[in-house]
Structure 1
């Protein structure tokens, strides 16, 4: 009997202890849940969203000849009710304007319109009356502290600096350098650019994008459109939709999506000073001799390679002045543009949506 009573007592005691532990665990869970709820509430009321300013647009150049790029861009963005700023032709002026006109609301979208030649420096100055923007010249201006710093209140990490240029996104080093120019202390804006050409003022769309295809020849020494069409067809065998000879002879988009050709001229200026050199200044009689000489001089060859145009596609001349050898090259670039059109539905251009990662790259 006593043993039974002891067993019953032990079981009752064990049940009592289990009940105590269970109630403690439940209490802890309730407390943790209450703390979690409090933390969740604090997160939702932590900070109000910052209201960003309406988009602004910098028109960074003036049209020359028959071009209407800048005028058409100005009209396009005014129709969107964006604030348009004219007369700012350098990175220095753009940043200064942003600083001088900063408010409690940071900039949301900063559009920069620049009609650049992808084979040359940008048509945008680093500082007022300074060098044109390249990776090297812009980095130099940053290192020498010639550019103003963007005010911290002017931008956020959500600010977008959108470049409406030609194939700028293909130059990753330049895009990264542009990004560093617009950093404000610990706030880093996003740089948005496209690998396509930006076209403003088209007959069928005020703004559209076009894919470029290139063929080169030494200026004033064209082999003719027939040979050029064969060369470009060989260069881009995957492109089956373009009739190259027709495209090279077409100067405008006559129907939506029709390929057409624009032309660039790319100069190269090379110089060697023989003042303190034991070598004689070379003399050349043929183009091939000049090209062979450039190929043998590492620094000169690097300057040509920066253009991404083959050495033999330049027309070369030279002069000797005092102790300096000056070599000049000029290449003509025929650029076939194929406007981007929708692959379905009515024939129309693809909308240049800067949030579309297939059209624009974001750094």
Structure 2
């Protein structure tokens, strides 16, 4: 029996934005004082989430030069190596979607896998990543704007290694969700709380609110009220959004008698837990089997198992302690807001 695993993610819903914004151009590198800085917008928007557009608008309005045509770490390294200027950047910002289940949407290489701990480790061992030769020094600050990346210290360390020339840079990433908006804040961070349910089988707001209350007993949030607000209308308002995680496993059988006849979700789950390859993948998700919707389809001697879960995210903006009507500035040097390696 052969197995093919297909992991699909609606990347446009990994991180969040507010209010649609038009895209901007990509200016040449410019000097900022006596130092240089650059922003890599490492993705493009899909659907109605304008995360990358809003990030581009935010950094451009602040005077940062922008590169928005590179969607992999290898391309960014090559871009740095190909520059005629040998001076190191003072700041490098990399904007990418990210979430706890599938890592970053930034790829290893143009045709490679998305960046995860395993993927980047394998790429470095196989020589898929080029060696950085210049553009980054021990004084360079590399800031990743990737939701929740600051919780994954191992991955940050691997990214730091991949972006090291003669000396390792200082790497910053927030454990919170990064939100870019068209409002006065421009950029702020949000705490995030999750709950899942089988796609198209929501238990309803009351049940989800009850589950959130049980999962986060020390968090003072009106969960039911939060699920009524999709787009915040005032600073600090708690809101929600949803996205799906679909997964497919395809098995090839040599004989029809070997193919299991799975009639319902319970039978599918019973069979799935006996497949080591599948359980290893699901273990990394840390989402219970019953939170997925399970289906099958067959094509000759090929069996495909389809699972899909819907993730509900509650976003709580981080506000200034002394003024709860003002967003807290996302200061990379604040250890409560950013991890540093």
Q: How far apart are 1:138 and its partner, in Å?
A: 2.1
Q: Which residue of 2 aligns with 1:24?
A: none
Q: Which residue of 2 aligns with 1:195?
A: 175
Q: Which structure would you say has the larger Rg?
A: 1
Contact residue 256 and residue 301 of structure 2 kept, 8 A: no
Query: Does 2:143 match 1:162?
Result: yes
- 1:88-99 alignment runs, 5 A limit: 88-99=70-81
- 1:57-72 alignment runs, 5 A limit: 57-72=39-54
Q: Which residue of 2 aligns with 1:299?
A: 277
Q: Which deviations, in whole Å up to 9, do the C-alpha atoms of 1:88-123 show, x marking residues without a partner? A: 111111111111125242122110001224322422
| TM-score normalised by structure 2 residue count | 0.85
Which one has more relative contact order, counting CA pairs under 8 Å at least 6 apart? Answer: 2
Q: How far apart are 1:323 and its partner, in Å?
A: 3.4
Q: How far apart are 1:202 and its partner, in Å?
A: 5.0
Give the number of aligned pairs.
309
- Distance across 1 between alignment mates of 2:173 and 2:126: 26
- Distance across 2 between alignment mates of 1:94 and 1:169: 21
- Distance across 1 between alignment mates of 2:300 and 2:101: 31
Q: How far apart are 1:353 and its partner, in Å?
A: 0.8
Matched residue SS, 1:261: strand
- Distance across 1 between alignment mates of 2:35 and 2:304: 51
The structure in which a higher percent of residues are helix is 1
Query: Does 2:257 match 1:265?
Result: no
Residues 361 and 150 (structure 1), Cα distance of their counterparts in 2 relative to 1, 3 Å cut: same
- Distance across 2 between alignment mates of 1:158 and 1:291: 51
Q: How far apart are 1:212 and its partner, in Å?
A: 0.3
Q: How far apart are 1:198 and its partner, in Å?
A: 0.3
- Distance across 1 between alignment mates of 2:324 and 2:213: 29
Q: Which residue of 1 aligns with 2:201?
A: 221
**Structure 1, gaps ≥5 residues long:** 1-50
- Distance across 2 between alignment mates of 1:102 and 1:354: 29
- Distance across 2 between alignment mates of 1:351 and 1:65: 28
Contact residue 119 and residue 307 of structure 1 kept, 8 A: yes
- 1:166-315 alignment runs, 5 A limit: 166-184=147-165, 186-201=166-181, 203-240=183-220, 242-275=221-254, 280-315=258-293
Q: How far apart are 1:52 and its partner, in Å?
A: 7.4
**Structure 2, gaps ≥5 residues long:** 1-32
Contact residue 271 and residue 324 of structure 1 kept, 8 A: yes
Q: Which residue of 1 aligns with 2:38?
A: 56
- CA RMSD in angstroms, aligned pairs only: 2.0
Matched residue SS, 2:269: helix
Q: How far apart are 1:190 and its partner, in Å?
A: 2.4
Contact residue 54 and residue 82 of structure 1 kept, 8 A: no
- Distance across 1 between alignment mates of 2:81 and 2:34: 15
Matched residue SS, 2:323: coil
- Distance across 1 between alignment mates of 2:256 and 2:46: 46
Q: How far apart are 1:175 and its partner, in Å?
A: 1.9
Q: How far apart are 1:203 and its partner, in Å?
A: 3.6
The structure in which a higher percent of residues are strand is 2
Contact residue 137 and residue 164 of structure 2 kept, 8 A: no
Matched residue SS, 1:166: coil
Residues 278 and 326 (structure 1), Cα distance of their counterparts in 2 relative to 1, 3 Å cut: closer
Q: How far apart are 1:260 and its partner, in Å?
A: 0.1
